Amino acid sequence: MPSPLITRPGRTAILPPQYCGQVGYYALLASYPRAVIDLAMPYDKRRKSAHRCSIADVRGPLTLTVPIEKAHRGMTWADVCVSSHAGWWSDHAVSLESAYGRTPYFEFYYDRFKPLLTPPAPGLTVGDLDRALDQIIRQILALDTEVTYYVEEQPDAIDDYRRQTNFDIENAPAYYQVRADRLGFIPNLSILDLIFNLGPESPLLLHRILQKA
């Protein structure tokens, strides 16, 4: 039986790489039977989401950034290397535990991400890191979308989102967030926020988003 999340049958989406992408990013991806995350996109310093995401910290939204080695025009996200500057992986691990340690599903899922929050191996690229995280995230969400990571052939039917940088959801449906009673609902965060708060019910929230689209 086809997944109820797939609302654009017969089409393929091309998406930019994102570091622990937004909820809206994964709602869009889930709506297609096929998607290409184009790690061969040209490097653009303005496209911060390739190595940056937002979570809900104890005081509100917090940006987590993966520093990168010096990059230049002509490189792709598959070429740009992750930096080991300032021990960012430790900061991210501490921030995630502080933000989500009391959520219902943090202990259940966090161990899947821990191996990637370690000192980067020499030559690890942004594309490598984003791809590894995406595979974990889609497995947790149990998405049926068939995903590849490079544009090798242009499909016959395609929606091109390579130039889209904003995956914010207008009038995003609220879901349980552990500190909503104090901070209010914070929309358009990393998919990690949804996973740690809702766990196996996360696809139901993606379905609600697609119903409103």
What are 35-52's pLDDT values in tens digits? Answer: 999 999 999 998 899 999
Q: Is residue 4 part of a domain?
A: no
User: In the structure encoding, which two tokens stand for residue 142, read together?
Assistant: 């149990």
- More confident call, 159 vs 122: 122
Q: Is residue 6 part of a domain?
A: no
Q: Is residue 5 part of a domain?
A: no
Structural domain count, the chain: 1
Residue 201: pLDDT band (50, 70, 90) is very high
Query: Residues 185-190: what's their mean pLDDT?
Result: 97
Residue 162: pLDDT band (50, 70, 90) is low
| CB-based burial, 81-102: b 16+ in 10 Å, e otherwise | bbeeeeebbeebbebbeebbee
Longest Cα pair distance anywhere in the chain, in angstroms? 49
Q: Is residue 143 part of a domain?
A: yes
Q: Is residue 1 part of a domain?
A: no
Percentage of the chain exceeding pLDDT 70: 93
Q: Is residue 34 part of a domain?
A: yes
Q: Is residue 3 part of a domain?
A: no
Q: pTM of the full predicted structure?
A: 0.95
| pLDDT tens digits, one per residue of 85-137 | 999 999 999 999 999 999 999 999 999 999 999 999 999 999 999 999 999 99
| The predicted structure's pLDDT at residue 106 | 98
Domain that holds residue 35: 12-212
Q: Is 182 exposed, middle or buried (0-12, 13-18, 19+ CB in 10 A)?
A: exposed
Question: Which one, of 79, 57, 71, lies nearest residue 178 by Cα?
Answer: 57
Residue 179: pLDDT band (50, 70, 90) is very high
Q: Is residue 2 part of a domain?
A: no
Query: Residues 192-198: what's their mean pLDDT?
Result: 98
Query: What is the C-alpha separation between 92 and 167, in angstroms, rounded?
Result: 22
| The predicted structure's pLDDT at residue 156 | 57
